[in-house]
Amino acid sequence: MAIKYLLLRQFRNYLEEKIEWHPDLNIICGANAQGKSNLVEALCYISCGSSYREAKDQEMLGFGQDFFYLEGLVEKGSLKRTLSVGFGADKKKLWRLDGQPQKKLSQILGVWHTVLFSPEDLQLVKSGPANRRRFLNREMLQLYPEYYLSLNQYQQALSQRNELLRQSRNFGIDKELLRAWDDNLTTLAADIFKKRQKVIARLSPLADQLHRQITQSEETLNLGYESFLPEEKIAAMSQAEIKAAMLAELETKRREEMARGLTLVGPHRDDLLININGFAARQFGSQGQQRTAALALKLAEVELVFEETGFWPGLLLDDVMSELDTKRQKQVLELMVGKVQTFITHTNPEIKLVCGRKFLVESGKVRPLKGA
Amino acid sequence: MVYYYPESMENLIQQLTRLPGIGPKTAQRLAFHLLSTNEVDAFGLAQAIATVRKKVKRCAVCANLTDEEICPVCRDNNRDRQLLCVVEQPKDVLMMEKTREYRGLYHVLHGAISPMEGVGPNQLTVGLLLERLKQGEITEVVMVTNPNVEGEATALYLASQIKPMGIKVTRIAHGVPVGGDLEYADEATLAKAYAGRNEL
């Protein structure tokens, strides 16, 4: 799967640019603040319908402009699909697939999968559990759109239950009512536990293999799911059994939950464990190890998308190459280029090019550079 | 001096703006229409509002809207009086009636349990429902609350209250629309329908 061209109209600092991409490797060079990341943002937007920089649609309008428009041609084998999105100042967004208006974002997701790796992702291993949960959720949403509903319903039930706990601090507890919310919450939670555990179990061997290839060592990387139940139990138990276990756990935490007005058990408190040689990389890994583990995790995501969909996703590397040493840079390129269409931003236009195309970005203008 | 509408006109527009789904522009249009249409229609509307407010109240048995003490459904002896359907809103009763399949009685909760909106069992007609069930005529209660988080919690809560009375409690199934194509069902609904599959 590859994107053939991308057209940007009044998007951020681009007035009108059409870029013909190379099917293997694209290196986007340019000094700071010229629009390299804006280009990556546009690619990401047309792939997953939102900015990875968590910007609002409004913020992506060109300066003083009242609409933006992106269009891309995606090739999946012999199949060609035109994907476009326009956003106007009236805050209306229109997606089109092959010219046909699409009402639901879920029709767009997956037309062109991408995996993005940004400098923040390098912090994935070191940062707090919330970031790793976000990583997990985002990844699962791309692959399994129905996970969105489970997650949404769970969050709704969680807010309701927390509110009930808070109210009961002042007005006393209605045990029967709380039990109804427990029942509701645990059903939704069991579904999420199971789905997450399955994805992590598939991601783990992929990440391990890639990690060995990048480091060229015997260090093992393995991923786990940290929850109130051991991971093996989540894997072995049925949803009904997990639900029962969580109900029992809530029972033991009741007093503390009431005092704090918070739900203390559930997917919203869990973590993705990243172990190197059996030790938690978050606590015991060196900076270098942590970065490499994050990289392996992201590349594993690429492999997982392939396993699930049968197509290689696009790989967007925004500002991360300069964060890796030359040996790691080479490893990444060797692993990915040739099978995955890769996009890399780099400040140095002198960077060597083995294959593919190089572009120079200067204040919102993109031009291909000749030679390597 | 700048021109404004007469005070009574301003007042009407203000009142109309408070209605759901009505913005200032629509309110203005409606107000002008009421002013220019014939008197019978305009007063007819005013009269209709006054009457509905005076007459319509909740049925003493099922809490559905009625202009009598006890609604026609509750008085209907041709219905299955052992079967009770619990719904959130009066409009849900109409939906169930349209099925022509269900011939039992109803109970209207007038909402769903939602701590965030300050709605608990006491804000709903739960007390009335439990009193009604104690009389022992009803043998099955069907929960037809909305298939969202709040509707689900309401159904679960009521089930926990009703089951100890020895009454059967059921919940409507979730699934794909009948007569349509599978491709029009969204993934989540289809997943639910799959989970609740029946043996042939």
Does residue A372 carry a pLDDT above 60?
no
Where residue B160 falls among pLDDT bands split at 50, 70, 90?
very high
Angle at Cα A359 formed by Cα A353 and Cα A364, nearest 5°? 155
Write out pLDDT tens, residues A247-289. 999 999 999 998 899 999 999 999 999 999 999 998 888 888 8
Q: Does B192 touch chain A (CB under 8 A)?
A: no
**Which secondary structure element, helix H or strand E, spans residue A365, and what is its range?**
strand A365-369
Whether residues B83 and B48 fall in one domain: no
Complex confidence, ipTM = 0.72
Does residue A180 carry a pLDDT above 80?
yes
Inter-axis angle of helices B149-162 and A175-215, to 10 degrees? Answer: 130
Higher pLDDT, A327 or A35: A35
Considering only the beta carbons, identify the residue of B115, B161, B188 that sits closest to A167: B115
Can you give the pLDDT at residue A80? 92
* CA atoms in the 13 A half-sphere facing the CB of A88: 4
Determine the residue type at A238: S
**Which residue, A217, A221, A207, A213, is CA-closest to A334?**
A213
Q: What percent of chain A has pLDDT over 70?
A: 99
Whether residues B162 and B108 fall in one domain: yes
Does residue A54 carry a pLDDT above 90?
no
Q: Please provide the DSSP assignment of A91-131 as one string.
A: S-EEEEETTEEE--GGGTTTTS-EEEE-HHHHTTTTS-HHH
- Top-confidence range, A63-77, A327-341, B80-94: B80-94
Is residue A42 helix, strand or coil? helix
Measured between alpha carbons, how far is B110 from B88 in angstroms, rounded to an integer? 5
**Residue B70 DSSP symbol:** S
Higher pLDDT, B122 or A143: B122
- Which residues on chain B are in Cβ contact (under 8 Å) with A188? 149
**Which residue, A6, A21, A38, is CA-closest to A361?**
A38
Interchain CB distance below 8 Å, A176 and B116:
no
Whether residues B112 and B49 fall in one domain: no
Determine the residue type at B175: G
Q: Does A107 touch chain B (CB under 8 A)?
A: no
CATH number of the domain enclosing B101: 3.40.1360.10
Where residue A371 falls among pLDDT bands split at 50, 70, 90?
low
Spatial neighbors of A214 by CB under 8 A, at least 6 apart, are: A292, A295, A296, A299, A328, A331, A332, A335
Q: Does A174 touch chain B (CB under 8 A)?
A: yes
Q: Give chain B's domain count.
A: 2
Average per-residue pLDDT in chain A? 89
B101 within domain boundaries: yes
* Candidates B149, B150, B184, partner chain A, best to mutate (most A CBs within 10 A): B149
B110 within domain boundaries: yes
- The secondary structure of chain B in percent helix, strand, coil, rounded to multiples of 5, reads 50, 10, 40
Q: Name the residue in chain A with its Cα closest to that of B120.
A: A177
B62 within domain boundaries: no
Interchain CB distance below 8 Å, A180 and B153:
yes
Q: Does B153 touch chain A (CB under 8 A)?
A: yes
Whether residues B102 and B26 fall in one domain: no
Is residue B168 helix, strand or coil? strand
Can you give the pLDDT at residue B15? 93
Whether residues B126 and B85 fall in one domain: yes
Whether residues B100 and B28 fall in one domain: no
CATH number of the domain enclosing B35: 1.10.8.420
B66 within domain boundaries: no
Measured between alpha carbons, how far is B5 from B13 in angstroms, rounded to an integer? 10
Note whether A67 and A89 are within 8 A (CB).
yes
B180 within domain boundaries: no
B106 within domain boundaries: yes
Interchain CB distance below 8 Å, B160 and A157:
no
Whether residues B142 and B100 fall in one domain: yes
- Which residues on chain B are in Cβ contact (under 8 Å) with A179? 157, 160
**Residue B172 DSSP symbol:** P
- Which residues on chain A are in Cβ contact (under 8 Å) with B186? 106
Interchain CB distance below 8 Å, B156 and A157:
no
Can you give the pLDDT at residue A324? 82
Interchain CB distance below 8 Å, A161 and B115:
yes
Whether residues B50 and B84 fall in one domain: no
Spatial neighbors of A248 by CB under 8 A, at least 6 apart, are: none
Can you give the pLDDT at residue A302? 93
Write out pLDDT tens, residues B24-61. 999 999 999 999 999 999 999 999 999 999 999 999 99
Range of the domain at B29: 7-55
Can you give the pLDDT at residue B111? 95
Can you give the pLDDT at residue B33? 94
Whether residues B90 and B166 fall in one domain: yes
Write out pLDDT tens, residues A73-113. 999 888 899 999 999 877 788 999 999 999 887 788 888 99
Whether residues B85 and B164 fall in one domain: yes
B61 within domain boundaries: no
Higher pLDDT, A221 or A89: A221
Whether residues B46 and B124 fall in one domain: no
B198 within domain boundaries: no
Q: Name the residue in chain B with its Cα closest to that of A147.
A: B188
Average pLDDT value for residue range B114-132: 94
Whether residues B163 and B102 fall in one domain: yes
Write out pLDDT tens, residues B56-74. 999 999 999 999 999 999 9
